[in-house]
Structure 1
Amino acid sequence: MPPSRDPDEAGRRRALAAILFLAALVIGGVWLANTLRRESVREDCLMSGRRDCAALDTTR
């Protein structure tokens, strides 16, 4: 006789998969929002006529 599986195990797997999927969506959404915000700031700078709109390296 094959070993019986816990019926809750499948439900836990589905819940974990759903949580991982939602976490990936949230992380992707935050990344996309930040990217769009940076591009918007850069485009605003360029539209104002400035030419030095590249992000400056201030880590030095």
Structure 2
Amino acid sequence: MPQTDDPDETGRRRALAAIVVLAVLVIGGVWLANTLRRESAREDCLASGRRDCAALQPGP
């Protein structure tokens, strides 16, 4: 006879899965927004005719 899961445990698993999916979506959205903002600033710099638009890398 197959073992049945407790309905409360199944609900908790679904809620945890939903939280994980939401966290991944939020993190991905923040990363995407930051990337688009950085690229937009670089394109604005290039469109203004400057050549030194690359982000400066901090020294060692």
Structure 1 ranges of 4+ moved more than 2 A: 1-5
- For residues 5-40 of structure 1, give each alpha carbon's deviation from its aligned partner in whole angstroms, at most 9, with x where no partner exists: 321011001000000000000000000000000001
* Structure 1 CA distance for aligned equivalents of residues 39 and 4 of structure 2: 55
TM-score calculated relative to the size of structure 2? 0.89
- Equivalent residue for 1:40? 40
What is the match of residue 52 of structure 1? 52
**Structure 1-normalised TM-score?**
0.89
Give the superposed CA RMSD: 1.3
Cα distance in structure 2, aligned partners of 1:48 and 1:24: 36
In the alignment, structure 2 segments of 5+ residues that lack a partner are none
Query: Number of paired residues?
Result: 60
Between the aligned residues of both structures, percent identity stands at 78
